[in-house]
Structure 1
């Protein structure tokens, strides 16, 4: 049995992070016993699950969905992860497009024959 401070320390998170997870429904709020709320090994596992999922790039809404699934729900788990992967691929495409745009601006700036900055001119005319 751990208090919230000891749980936070053991899992290397802030107490406020645990409280936030409780407010949004990712973690349970234990009943109060003698003016304290005590956490158990299941709470440690849940917090560890959340941290590992965040480290893998999952959003809290996706983590919440995964927490509700059983180990046998492989198809649904794959669906959640595939959706996240699709979002990552989309973001990569957006970043590559942005990179190309900025690279083009740099090239235009290097080759401009007048004193006017083509980057600022482009931004001001947009």
Structure 2
């Protein structure tokens, strides 16, 4: 079987590391055919049919499908989402708290 064609972000992206480590551990040959600068560019590569990518369901482009089972790919662990900011004023901090609460509610986390 030919190597799995991957679209990734450049190292040291932790999602890239997680995906290629899982493929290596499963003995699945892979080749990096597209290195993007963010989720949108990686999603565009997937939508164009250039490669597959490790993307969360919520950020996968419309019209794409999870091909893990079809290709016999290993499951990937879940990831935490962490918000970082250097904002110290009260309004910005409140906006960040609201954003955090919205993200937690959207995935059913308290």
Name the one with the larger helix percent: 1
Query: Whose RCO is larger (CA < 8 A, sep 6+)?
Result: 2
Q: Give yes or no for TM over 0.5.
A: no
The TM-score range, normalised by the shorter chain, is: under 0.3
> Which structure: larger Rg?
1
Name the one with the larger strand percent: 2
TM-score by length of 1: 0.24
TM-score by length of 2: 0.26
